[in-house]
Amino acid sequence: MSGLPVLDLRRFRSADRDAFLDDLRRAAREVGFFTVVGHGIAPELTTRLDEEVRRFFALPLDDRLAIENTASPHFRGYSRVGTERTGGAADQREQIDVGPERAPVEGEARYWGLVGPNQWPPAQPALRDAVLAWQDEALRVSQEILRALAASLGQPEDHFDRWFDEESHLHLKVLHYPGGAATAQGVGAHKDYGFLALLRQDDVGGLEVQVPGADDWIGAAPVPDGYVVNIGEMLEVATRGHLTATRHRVVSPAAGVDRYSVAFFLGPRLDAVVEPVDLPPELAAETGDWDPNDDPDNPLLAAYGENALVGWLRSHPTVAARHWS
């Protein structure tokens, strides 16, 4: 395989629907990654986002640190290069973590502490509107893809909707990978633990995917006006392993080259307990003996928030020590 499958989302609402659903299911099962075009996100919205993202990372360090995530118990705000960790090693990227704008809530479960407000840079007021406007569109597109995936599995389009409402745990990362970093680990190899991820990347490249059953990594080459989509572990569980959450990484760019991207992660309510889909017999036969109940202690089968909190605590040890110890 030389690149990711490219799918036109407009086919889902066309006479070509059945063929599209077959192509979509195959890509989500065999690769776990694909590029989507025909998504309807306005180019001017994306251009505005790109400009504001670059403007933020060009701010003086003190202006970026004004929203450092160590001030937020909700893991929101700016992280310096090397402060987030994947696989126990430092990632060579700086970023802003953003979520829905909500007031903090109290609940018996610790994971409700993930809910709270964002931090925005006083030195760049325009960043907030650009990011939140794009986040709304990323949510729309991700939900449309999720409905198409449900249909591709022989389910009603709204099968997964019950876990997604105004309290869905959405997450967005605004990312900068500096050129000539200390190591090649822009971000280490991992799988995403939510349902879907939608990635806006520039033309630098660096995202690599390890196709299931293969040892080699393939590059996720940028496609004009395309967004990279990948399946998360919760959706893999929800489909009894029929759809595939795939390991991926970002290799640091060469000296003198900077990589920028924005990643949106679609997660359900924090208290959602995902029940596996009853697949049609022909799809169940393809999946084989994969059984989410083989490991009853698997945290992916608990409330989504429990798994999400573990991921945040592991990736951001400084925030964890300050606010969660």
Q: What is the pLDDT of residue 95?
A: 98
What is the rounded average pLDDT of the residues 108-124?
Answer: 97
Q: Backbone phi, then psi, for 227, in 5-degree steps?
A: -120, 130
Average pLDDT over residues 52-69: 98
Give me the mean pLDDT over the 33-47 stretch.
Answer: 97
Question: Using 50, 70 and 90 to split pLDDT, how confident is the model at 294?
Answer: low
Rounded distance between C-alpha atoms, residue 242 and residue 177, angstroms: 33
The pLDDT score that the predictor gives to residue 106 is 86
Portion of the chain with pLDDT greater than 90, in percent: 87
Determine the pLDDT at residue 315: 93
Query: The tokens 């990362």 sit on which residue?
Result: 173
Sign of the CA dihedral running 266, 268, 273, 278: negative
Question: Does residue 296 register a pLDDT over 70?
Answer: no
- Containing H/E element for 200? strand 196-201
128 or 274, which is more confident?
128
- Mean pLDDT for 77-103 is 96
Q: What is the pLDDT of residue 2?
A: 65
pLDDT at 214: 87
pLDDT over 80 (residue 44): yes
Flag whether pLDDT at 13 surpasses 60: yes
Query: Does pLDDT of 295 surpass 80?
Result: no
Residue 291 has pLDDT above 80, yes or no: no
Q: Is the pLDDT of residue 48 over 70?
A: yes
What pLDDT was estimated at residue 292? Answer: 58
Q: Provide the CA 21 distance to its chain's centre, in angstroms.
A: 22
Which pLDDT value is given to residue 143? 97
290 band by pLDDT with thresholds 50, 70 and 90: confident
Percentage of residues of the chain with pLDDT beyond 70: 96
Q: 277 and 159 in contact (C-beta within 8 Å)?
A: yes
DSSP-derived pairing of the beta strands 259-266 and 171-177 = antiparallel
The CATH class given to the 6-323 domain equals mainly beta
Residue pLDDT, tens place only, 151-192: 999 999 999 999 998 889 999 999 999 999 999 999 999 999
Residues ≥6 apart with Cβ < 8 Å to 96: 56, 67, 77, 78, 79, 131, 173, 174
Q: What is the reported pLDDT for 300?
A: 59
Q: How many CB atoms lie within 10 A of CB 109?
A: 12
Mean pLDDT lowest for which of 70-74, 260-264, 289-293? 289-293
Q: Which residues contact 271 (CB under 8 A, 6 or more apart)?
A: 109, 303, 304, 305
Give strand ranges (E) for 57-145. 77-79, 85-86, 89-90, 94-98
Which is it for strands 33-37 and 6-8: parallel, antiparallel or unpaired? parallel
Give me the mean pLDDT over the 15-39 stretch: 98
pLDDT of residue 170: 96
Contact 264, 198 (CB under 8 A): yes
Query: Over 60: is that where the pLDDT of 80 sits?
Result: yes
Comparing 293 with 193, the larger pLDDT belongs to 193
For residues 123-137, give the mean pLDDT. Answer: 98
The alpha carbon of residue 272 and the mean position of all alpha carbons in its chain are separated, in whole angstroms, by 18
Residue 299: what pLDDT? 52
Question: What is the token pair recorded at 161?
Answer: 């909707």
pLDDT of 1 over the 80 cut = no
